[in-house]
Amino acid sequence: MKTNRLLLLFTLFSLLISCEESYLDDPAPTSSVNSSIVFSSKAGVEAFISGIHRRARSQFSNTHNGGLYSMYYARDVKANDILTKATWFLWDYDHTYRAPNFGRTTFSWQFPYYMINQANIGIKGLSEATGISDVDKDELMAQFLGLRGFYYFQLALEFNDHPSYDANAAAPPIYTEPATDSKPMSTISELFGQIKSDLSQASTLASANRINKTYLNKNIIDGFKARVHLYLGEYAEAEASAAAARAGFSLNGSQYGSGFDDMSTDETMWAMAQTTDQSNYYYVAPHSFADHENGAYQGTFINNDFVQLFSDTDVRNTFYHYYSTNTAAWFAWVTSKFTFAFDSDMIMMRVAEMMLIEAEAKARQGNDAAAATLLFTLQSERDASAVATGNTGASLIEEVMIERRKEMYCELGVEWFDAKRTRSGITRTGNHRVFLDLDPDDKRFILCIPQSEIDANEFIDDSINSDRL
């Protein structure tokens, strides 16, 4: 009988890994792997959480299958606005990295499940703890639940079509306890039920308190909720969650040009911090790919058609010629948006994203005036020559979605995310190195279930991929 060897391994070693990895100037991890010590104090649990965040930003397997940042960047290169040369992530760009034995498939399954198992260990340990106050327990539990819901959402994005395509489609198994045994596949409806439940509980328990911007608090968990609700087309909930998430944060267009390697900027809500003594060195995406001046891999290029969307006065117009002035060449345009260094922070959530979620949600509910006002608040902060939109209805929604691409390219894979949630497909234009079309619900939007899981899980066999290839 097969057993889930991978998840069992996570259970045996997760406490050891999380507690031994130091994390910047945050709570010092305990050297003990004894859960009774880790969960005997708030400081011990914070050290455990510190290890989880440290793992999220380090190399999980290799450069293009690293931490959370590599999942996002792989989504970026699958769309139309950016392209990559033949270096790391080239198979994502080609949409050829999805078969059961491929690294992207294996990483995109193992990494979220590792993080989920860490969260489950934390939930169990904290539930049984006796030496921590109820107030502290709530704040700590919110972080574990928030992380679990967040990483289940990553699994749903990578391994399933949008729920509106088939709510009963087979989805990744759901584990709510530290994993020792295999479980069968869930359904996408069940998986999103778990995601929403986790994030709802986390938001209720959370406060505004946190150690620094690397950690979760109510704002960040509400930001997770906003993304999920937007993806599901639950626009009233998306609007409310986005507004709650950005409360207390403000725009600052003057920081835009230097705001993508420094989490201290006003607009940064959530980030992965780095210092030179605890650096991920050359492996951080997008910085080590997008920065051609201080570079490592220098692999990111910008679609000429995308460049044309920006006015000359827009602070986000950071595009320039580095290798060629021939705009027809695939390597014509690069961007200075990101600065690569061994201490470049990775920005994972910004106030502008929440404003645009809120604006789109308002527009999709027919509140065009409020949506347009919020949109112009952002546009005028980015461009001194911006003019308030006169668009309404579908045209206004389209303008907001274009603004999402302009605001967040190379950050969160938003173009791919939006194409998937709206079931609109992707068509490459401009000066791409590789041209291709993805129809709505194209199977290239999802990954196969990894062969390692099929081999280890008694409830899953090769037939699971029959409609994924």
Q: What confidence tens digit (pLDDT) does each residue in 336-358 have?
A: 999 999 989 999 999 999 999 99
Q: For the segment 242-276, what is each residue's pLDDT rounded down to a tens digit?
A: 999 999 999 999 998 777 999 999 999 999 988 88
Residue 284 pLDDT: 87
Provide the residue count of the chain: 469
Half-sphere exposure of 134 (CA within 13 A, CB side): 0
Q: How far apart are CA 66 and CA 285, in angstroms?
A: 9
Residue 5 pLDDT: 38
Residue 292 pLDDT: 96
- The arithmetic mean of pLDDT across residues 66-93, rounded, is 96
Q: How far apart are CA 69 and CA 58, in angstroms?
A: 9
- The arithmetic mean of pLDDT across residues 87-95, rounded, is 96
pLDDT exceeds 50 at position 11: no
Average pLDDT, the chain: 92
| % pLDDT > 90, the chain | 84
Domain boundaries, the chain: 5-256+409-465
- CATH class of the domain defined by 5-256+409-465: mainly alpha
Neighbouring residues of 465: CB distance < 8 A, sequence distance ≥ 6: 100, 448, 449, 454
Nearest Cα residue to 429 out of 308, 322, 300: 308
Residue 276 pLDDT: 83
pLDDT exceeds 70 at position 33: no
Q: Which helix (H) or strand (E) holds 83?
A: strand 82-84
Q: For the segment 295-343, what is each residue's pLDDT rounded down to a tens digit?
A: 799 999 999 999 999 999 999 999 999 999 999 999 999 999 999 999 8
Report residue 229's pLDDT band, with 50, 70 and 90 as the boundaries: very high
Half-sphere exposure of 465 (CA within 13 A, CB side): 18
| % pLDDT > 70, the chain | 93
pLDDT exceeds 70 at position 32: no
Inter-CA distances, 386 with 254, 314, 383, Å: 16, 8, 5
Report residue 26's pLDDT band, with 50, 70 and 90 as the boundaries: low
Residue 278 near residue 349 (C-beta atoms within 8 A)? no
pTM (predicted TM-score): 0.94
Residue 27 pLDDT: 57
Residue 423 pLDDT: 97
Residue 240 near residue 223 (C-beta atoms within 8 A)? no
Q: First vs last Cα of the chain: how many Å apart?
A: 27
pLDDT exceeds 60 at position 21: no
pLDDT exceeds 80 at position 14: no
Q: Which residue has the tokens 């401009």?
A: 430
Q: For the segment 368-396, what is each residue's pLDDT rounded down to a tens digit?
A: 999 999 999 999 999 999 999 999 999 99
Report residue 19's pLDDT band, with 50, 70 and 90 as the boundaries: very low
